[in-house]
């Protein structure tokens, strides 16, 4: 270790104390302990260019132990990614690019949004999948990088890490290197309170290459040697197990559970700085020699980046596919291949989705994914495009197995890596198993297509355990998640247009059972979120439906018409898209001067935003044939017509939309 390296590492440790102390909040100890590891990664191992943090062929870094965010922010500042010392001083403050946990899109150089433990580990598996697919498709001259991860005891304790690690080993994802910081400390006390796993044996059983680095947390050469040995393994992922001392070299806090959080205050910080030979009274101290040293490291990858840009510009036949992959969209004219359906057909929207996905595969080259052991059931079967595996890294069909939580987080990693539009499917009721990853997809605006089928009590005999009733309301509650429940096959095509065109995640909520292709539904109308499907002369009530219940609304309108009651029908496939429309357009569609009734085979929570009353299911379902359950719970044209008549007898229309 040279003198400038020792000084630089001590500066990182000092910044890791100063920023949380300024915020009176944060996690100091892990960042201090791992300062030497971060130094080795950013100066000796990783290939990147700080002036272009989004360079597609950069190495990826994931801080799965996201509570140690100040470590990453310190490195991003020192290497010249755009963070200033003032940004570090404003750690965890309103509007700062240095939030409490790393957030993609908020801070240059942060790849994924981590915080909930284990998520970053699974994100990294997705990144490794995306890199492997891109390299197989475009060659090593276009895609030749690795993914490095720092994980802690908490990450490896969470179930999602088991799911993701098992799949990564099965897929033989070389070029994925995880460093396990085995500091033997948790918030409650020593890890031995609740953990006696042998991580090395567990990961070897998963099919990983394991490097046991021992007490090398302060040995730069040993760290470099271990990382290079791990990175050299191409046929399986690698885990490097590192024993560190949390908060080292703080005289009182080192090795203590308290050091997991904000535990070093004025006297302890000053004493620690004195031990490291830094000015005890000076905060955010970065000597110019240290800054120069790291800034040179930050631009060391420029020549490699320039060479990559020249190679990418020279691409001929593959250029359109590469550009479409990197932009997460389709090639020019991709919408021309979309299927169409004839009114009167009965088509489950999951089957219409499957047909649309297959039509898009040749023209949207980034599409890849599958289901959580429900690939055929959810319409995410694309095996004709090749199965992704160690022997076929260019395959687009990914079999995730029964691993919903990891599947969602892996998809986020694929999307945020770039080059992929991941598609993942399971039953809507199992969205609960995915919820943390779905929430983070929305928070980070990862462009993932979540395909959730078997969307109502129409599932039938499987009973209430498999009949989602509250799930639509819970998904609509997630900010920035675009939920689309198409009425029929035609609207399903429009839902896919939205998913491919728009940024961020899209949830497709699809039926198991066949539903009629309705007269008048329009694929292009889905982008508006809602539109008028039936508009008779002199209407007196509006029926608003989503999904399979739009057909119920149309049938109810016919029953009402037979009684001389003119009913409008509105299809409202996406609340989120409709909420983006101008107020006048919302009013034109919903007609607030008329009483309105929503119809949806789900909990009625939230419908008061749009309609006066709602027909829904505010209880659990039952085990019986789907049509019987629908009838018993009132999702019928007759019941909707009766509710509309009752609404008209005591109508109190909403004052405004």
Catalytic residues: 404
SS3 596: strand
CB neighbour list of residue 368: distance below 8 Å, 6 or more residues apart? 133, 385, 388, 396, 397, 398, 414, 420, 421, 422, 423
Rounded to whole angstroms, the Cα distance separating 216 from 245 reads 10
The sign of the CA dihedral 610, 616, 621, 624 is negative
- The distance of Cα 48 from the centroid of its chain, to the nearest Å, equals 24
How far is it, in rounded angstroms, from Cα 93 to Cα 156? Answer: 29
Integer Cα distance of 291 and 80 in angstroms: 9
Distance of CA 101 to the CA centre of its chain: 15
Is 217 in contact with 150 (CB distance < 8 Å)?
no
Q: Which of 332, 333, 327 is nearest to 366 (CA)?
A: 327
- Secondary structure, 3-state, 65-112: CHHHHHHHHHHHHHHCCCCCHHHHHCCCCCCCCCCCCCCCCCCCCCCC
Q: Provide the pairing of β-strand 147-152 with 238-242.
A: unpaired
**Contact (Cβ atoms closer than 8 angstroms) between residue 111 and residue 60:** yes
The Cα-based distances of 212 to 7, 238, 456 in angstroms read 27, 11, 50
**Phi, psi of 524, rounded to the nearest 5 degrees:** -70, -20
CB neighbour list of residue 198: distance below 8 Å, 6 or more residues apart: none
SS (H, E, C) 476-488: HCCCCCEEECCCC
Contacts of 526 (CB under 8 A, 6+ apart): 484, 486, 491, 494, 495, 497, 498, 573, 574, 577
The secondary element (H helix, E strand) that includes residue 506 is strand 506-509
Phi-psi region of 115 (alpha: psi -120 to 50; beta: other; left: phi over 0): left
Phi-psi label, residue 519: left if phi above 0, alpha if psi -120 to 50, beta otherwise: beta
**Sequential DSSP letters for 348-417:** EHHHHHHHHHHHHTTT-TTEEEEESS-TTTTT---GGG-B-BTTBTT--B----S-HHHHHHHHHHHHHH
Helix (H) or strand (E) holding 300, with range, is none
Distance CA 217, CA 548 (A): 58
CA distance 432 to 490: 28
- Rounded to whole angstroms, the Cα distance separating 450 from 429 reads 13
């Amino acid at each position: 270790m040279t003198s400038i390296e020792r000084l630089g590492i001590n500066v990182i440790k000092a910044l890791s104390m100063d920023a949380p102390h300024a915020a009176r909040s944060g996690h100091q100890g892990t960042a201090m302990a791992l300062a030497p590891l971060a130094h080795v990664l950013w100066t000796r191992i990783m290939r990147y260019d700080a002036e272009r943090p989004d360079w597609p062929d950069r190495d990826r870094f994931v801080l799965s132990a996201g509570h140690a965010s100040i470590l990453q922010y310190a490195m991003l500042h020192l290497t010249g990614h755009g963070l200033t010392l003032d940004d570090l001083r404003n750690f965890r403050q309103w509007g700062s690019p240095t939030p409490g946990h790393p957030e993609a899109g908020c801070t240059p150089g942060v790849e994924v949004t981590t915080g909930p433990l284990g998520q970053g580990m699974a994100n990294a598996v997705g990144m490794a999948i995306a890199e492997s697919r891109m390299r197989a498709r475009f060659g090593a001259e276009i895609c030749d990088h690795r993914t490095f991860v720092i994980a802690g005891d908490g990450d490896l304790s969470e179930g999602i890490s088991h799911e993701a690690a098992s799949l990564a080993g099965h897929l033989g994802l070389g070029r994925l290197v995880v460093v396990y910081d085995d500091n033997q400390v948790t918030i409650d006390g020593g890890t031995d309170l609740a953990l006696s796993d042998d991580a090395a044996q567990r990961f070897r059983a998963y099919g990983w290459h394991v490097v046991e680095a021992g007490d090398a947390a302060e040995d730069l050469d040993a760290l470099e040697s271990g990382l290079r040995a791990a990175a050299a393994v191409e046929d399986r992922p690698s885990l490097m197990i590192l024993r560190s001392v949390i908060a080292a070299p703080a005289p009182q806090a080192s090795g203590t559970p308290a050091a997991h959080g904000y535990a070093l205050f004025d006297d302890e910080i000053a004493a620690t700085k004195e031990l490291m030979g830094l000015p005890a009274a000076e905060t955010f101290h970065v000597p110019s020699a240290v800054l120069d040293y790291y800034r040179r490291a930050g631009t060391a990858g420029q020549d490699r980046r320039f060479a990559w840009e020249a190679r990418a510009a020279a691409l001929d036949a593959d250029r359109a596919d590469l550009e479409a992959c990197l932009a997460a969209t389709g090639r020019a004219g991709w919408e021309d291949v979309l299927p169409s359906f004839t009114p009167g057909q009965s088509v489950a929207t999951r089957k219409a989705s499957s047909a649309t996905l297959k039509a898009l595969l040749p023209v949207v080259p980034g599409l890849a994914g599958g289901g959580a052991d429900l690939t055929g059931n959810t319409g995410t079967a694309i095996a004709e495009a090749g199965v992704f595996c160690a022997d076929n890294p260019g395959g687009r069909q990914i079999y995730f197995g029964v691993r919903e939580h990891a599947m969602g987080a892996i998809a986020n990693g694929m999307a945020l890596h770039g080059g992929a539009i991941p598609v993942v499917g399971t039953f809507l009721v199992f969205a609960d198993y995915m919820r943390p990853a779905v929430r983070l997809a929305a928070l980070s605006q990862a462009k993932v297509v979540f395909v959730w089928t078997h969307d109502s009590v129409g599932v039938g005999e499987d009973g209430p355990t498999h009949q989602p009733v509250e799930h639509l309301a819970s998904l609509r509650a997630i900010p920035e998640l675009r939920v689309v429940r198409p009425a029929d096959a035609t609207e399903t095509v429009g839902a896919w247009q939205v998913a491919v065109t728009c940024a961020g995640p899209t949830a497709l909520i699809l039926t198991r059972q066949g539903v009629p292709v309705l007269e008048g539904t329009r694929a292009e109308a889905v982008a508006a979120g809602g539109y008028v499907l039936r508009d008779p002369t002199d209407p007196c009530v509006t029926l608003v439906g989503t999904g399979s219940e739009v057909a119920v609304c149309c049938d109810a309108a016919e029953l009402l018409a037979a009684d001389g009651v003119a009913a409008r029908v509105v299809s409202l496939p996406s609340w989120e898209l409709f909420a983006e429309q101008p107020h006048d357009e919302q009013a034109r569609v919903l007609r607030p001067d008329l009483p309105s009734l929503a119809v949806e085979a789900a909990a009625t929570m939230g419908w008061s935003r749009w309609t006066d009353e709602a027909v829904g299911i505010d209880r659990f379902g039952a085990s019986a044939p789907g049509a019987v359950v629908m009838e018993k719970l009132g999702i019928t044209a007759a019941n909707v017509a009766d509710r509309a008549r009752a609404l008209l007898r005591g109508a109190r229309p909403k004052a405004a939309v």
